[in-house]
Amino acid sequence: MNKLLTYMNLASRYAEGLGELPIAIYLREQHRILERVINGEEYIAATYYVPNEILSQFDIPVLYIERISGFGAANKLLGNIDIKRQYLGMPSCSCTYQIYYEGLIDECYIPHPSRIIASSFACDDAWWYCNKMSQRYKTDIYLIDVFRSNSEEAELYISKQLYELDSILKINYKTVRSLDSIIEQSNEGLEIKAKIDSVRKNNPGILDSNTALKLFPLYNDLGKPYANEIMQTLYDLLLIKAAHYEPENKIRLIWLGMIPLYYNNLIKDIEERYNCRIVYEELFQYPNKHIDKRNIYHSISKRIMNTHFFTMQQRMRDIIEYIDTYNVDGIIHFSQKNCRFLPPMLPLVYSELSEYKIPIVDINGDVADPSGFSDTIWDKLDAFFEILNRRKKDVSRNVDCREHRINQA
């Protein structure tokens, strides 16, 4: 029996037993897809921002690389990552997400993909890895080159590629769902997500960030009925909770970046140890941009260009909005080792937020490799919360910051 499949099945049952229905449904669906792959069906490997709406039309399972690597890492399926890295011929600066995927193939947890679709946004490294993988396994590949500018040329450039990708897939696979119905589902999913966000805004801290961080890859499932089922279930549960919810008087934080996958309880441990609450996570922010059925490829490329991470300016605008909306006391940022995407933005985050006088702590480690996690993060967090507790007593700070923001507006 394939251990990855078994663990996924157990995790889904466990979540169900705990009453964590959205996560149980999510894992059940992932299990169903993985089972098809392990039972010998051809599959497509894709990177995070490859739009699922296009892929969902066809009768072929799709594994998103970061997602399946994440499951592997959460279950610690590979041994020493550094040894694995050398053995697999990956550069010493490579991200463990890619090492994990390669390792899962190498250890026969999953077969080689029959086709790869990679987007250069968000992660150039994943793009590079997909290129290597296609050469090594002689696999067909389609590379979506995302031009990082908010220009009409960029939109046209991306949409042409999406159209081309769609045409290639139509030639190669049987269509089982119409793009129109997928778009309807996708737009409906975004509407439910907006309602979830609204409940969260009105009830800061109502959703456990652990749940949000487990569910954020649902972005890759927009257009699938099961994604809407999960979001509707989550929304319904939040509404029930909201009827009696009183936000606790605790330090409020937002979480930037990822979270170690092998340390499920990190957020809970931080919240208990420092009597604080994480009230929002940037990874679970989806662009509230519906797809126009009359102009599908343009619309999808616009959505990509409206994602939180598309430009540094967009990301900063969003972060400032979270600070205001949730009246946040501080920010925890997790820097993934060897990630060339988010950690290099950190100096800019510090400088852009300096006028807001919001304390930020950067804890670093490796989301997939437990040996990359150091206990020194607790020393950093101790010092950070000491500052926050001191500032919490100084009510005038909030007044100053608010005034400043109002003047800026």
Q: How far is the CB of 402 from ligand SF4 (least distance, A)?
A: 34
Q: How far is the CB of 171 from ligand SF4 (least distance, A)?
A: 30
First to last CA, the chain: 59
Is the distance from CB of 276 to CB of 250 less than 8 angstroms? Answer: yes
Rounded to the nearest angstrom, the gap between the alpha carbon of residue 122 and the centroid of all alpha carbons in its chain is: 11
Q: How far is the CB of 261 from ligand SF4 (least distance, A)?
A: 11
Q: How far is the CB of 66 from ligand SF4 (least distance, A)?
A: 6
What are the φ/ψ torsions at residue 139 (nearest 5 degrees)?
-105, 145
**Is the CB of 55 or the CB of 345 nearer to ligand SF4?**
345
Is the distance from CB of 358 to CB of 328 less than 8 angstroms? Answer: yes
Edge-to-edge order in the sheet of strand 115-119: 62-64, 44-46, 115-119, 140-144
The CA distance from 323 to 252, in Å, is 10
Is the distance from CB of 241 to CB of 206 less than 8 angstroms? Answer: yes
**Is the CB of 234 or the CB of 339 nearer to ligand SF4?**
339
Q: How far is the CB of 110 from ligand SF4 (least distance, A)?
A: 17
**Is the CB of 95 or the CB of 291 nearer to ligand SF4?**
95
Is the distance from CB of 318 to CB of 308 less than 8 angstroms? Answer: yes
**Is the CB of 18 or the CB of 93 nearer to ligand SF4?**
93
**Is the CB of 69 or the CB of 186 nearer to ligand SF4?**
69
**Is the CB of 250 or the CB of 308 nearer to ligand SF4?**
308
**Is the CB of 57 or the CB of 335 nearer to ligand SF4?**
335
Dihedral angle, C-alpha 119, 12, 278, 368, nearest 10 °:
-50
In sequence order, which residues have a C-beta less than 8 Å from that of residue 111 and are 6 or more positions away?
37, 38, 40, 43, 105
Q: How far is the CB of 189 from ligand SF4 (least distance, A)?
A: 23
**Is the CB of 7 or the CB of 129 nearer to ligand SF4?**
129
Q: How far is the CB of 123 from ligand SF4 (least distance, A)?
A: 3
CB atoms within 10 A of CB 349: 19
**Is the CB of 99 or the CB of 183 nearer to ligand SF4?**
99
Q: How far is the CB of 105 from ligand SF4 (least distance, A)?
A: 16
Is residue 127 within a helix (H) or strand (E), and if so which, with residue range?
helix 124-137
Is the distance from CB of 105 to CB of 92 less than 8 angstroms? Answer: no
Q: How far is the CB of 126 from ligand SF4 (least distance, A)?
A: 5
Angle, vertex CA 368, rays to CA 365 and CA 373, nearest 5? 30
Tally of residues, the chain: 409
The CA distance from 278 to 324, in Å, is 14
Helices (H), 203-283: 209-215, 225-242, 266-274
CB atoms within 10 A of CB 169: 19
Q: How far is the CB of 98 from ligand SF4 (least distance, A)?
A: 7
Residues that bind ligand SF4 (CB under 6 A): 66, 95, 97, 122-123, 125-126, 336, 339-341
**Is the CB of 25 or the CB of 126 nearer to ligand SF4?**
126
Is the distance from CB of 309 to CB of 285 less than 8 angstroms? Answer: no
The CA distance from 38 to 33, in Å, is 9
